[in-house]
């Protein structure tokens, strides 16, 4: 595994243990060339996914890229990183289980919103506001209204019910 700091190919595994309830192997790595430390996760990939973007462009699904946009939404929020990882795994597994090679960026966004809604209200609103591309304050108020009317989401670890919020207000944005 190439070192993300100095690009050396000499990184060594210091420790490896199961993570996310055994769904992943977490490896702590150390780079002897620059002293950098980083962590990698090994996971099962059930199938290759292609993302169909609103622009019509197709790109390979990139879990890390999605994780980065989610990380921005949860920044400085009290969200357990392990739970966040589990949420990401759950989303990817759900997408893989659809049986389609091609999935829309809209659908991915809806899944992330569903997951964040359970984890953290603020992160959810942050993600949703970017994803839904709010143009009017009214949209925001509507969303906050949705939140206050749903205190508990029963879908905790059972996200397999296909429940997706059909709240895409402006399909025209990209």
Q: Where does residue 29 fall: left (phi above 0), alpha (psi -120 to 50 degrees), or beta otherwise?
A: beta
- State yes or no: residue 29 binds Zn ion (CB under 5 A): no
Among 36, 67, 83, 168, binds Zn ion (CB under 5 A): 36
Q: Which is nearer to Zn ion, 12 or 165 (CB)?
A: 12
- State yes or no: residue 40 binds Zn ion (CB under 5 A): no
Give the separation between CA 26 and CA 86, rounded to whole angstroms: 13
**Of 6, 11, 161, 159, nearest in space to 89 by CA:** 159
Supply 46's token pair.
């059930």
Pairing assessment for the beta strands 50-52 and 58-60 based on DSSP bridges:
antiparallel
Q: Which is nearer to Zn ion, 37 or 47 (CB)?
A: 37
Among 24, 31, 73, 128, binds Zn ion (CB under 5 A): 31
Which positions ≥6 away from 163 have C-beta within 8 Å? 114, 155
Distances (CA, A) of 169 to 48, 88, 147: 29, 24, 17
Least Å distance, CB 85 to Zn ion, is 24
- State yes or no: residue 38 binds Zn ion (CB under 5 A): no
Among 23, 34, 52, 67, binds Zn ion (CB under 5 A): 34
Supply 12's token pair.
């060594």
The stretch near Zn ion (CB under 5 A) out of 4-12, 73-81, 99-107, 162-170 is 4-12
Other CB atoms within a 10 A radius of the CB of residue 97 amount to 11
**Of 61, 135, 71, nearest in space to 104 by CA:** 61
- State yes or no: residue 33 binds Zn ion (CB under 5 A): yes
- State yes or no: residue 5 binds Zn ion (CB under 5 A): yes
Least Å distance, CB 139 to Zn ion, is 45
Among 1, 6, 46, 50, binds Zn ion (CB under 5 A): 6
- Give the residues lining the site for Zn ion (CB under 5 A): 3, 5-6, 8, 31, 33-34, 36
């Amino acid at each position: 595994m190439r070192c993300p700091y100095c690009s050396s190919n000499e990184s060594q595994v210091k420790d490896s243990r199961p993570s996310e309830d055994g769904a992943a192997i977490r490896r702590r790595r150390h780079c002897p060339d620059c002293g950098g430390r980083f962590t990698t996760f090994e996971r099962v990939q059930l199938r290759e996914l292609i993302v169909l973007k609103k622009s019509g462009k197709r790109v390979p699904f990139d879990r890390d890229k999605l994780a980065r946009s989610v990380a921005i939404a949860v920044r400085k929020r009290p969200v357990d990183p392990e739970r966040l990882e589990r949420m990401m795994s759950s989303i990817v597994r759900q997408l893989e289980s659809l049986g389609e090679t091609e999935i829309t960026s809209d659908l991915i966004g809806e899944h992330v919103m569903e997951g964040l809604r359970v984890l953290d209200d603020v992160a959810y609103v942050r993600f949703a506001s970017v994803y839904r591309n709010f143009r009017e304050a009214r949209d925001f108020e509507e969303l906050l209204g949705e939140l206050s009317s749903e205190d508990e989401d029963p879908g905790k670890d059972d996200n397999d019910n296909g429940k997706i919020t059909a709240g895409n207000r402006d399909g025209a944005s990209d």
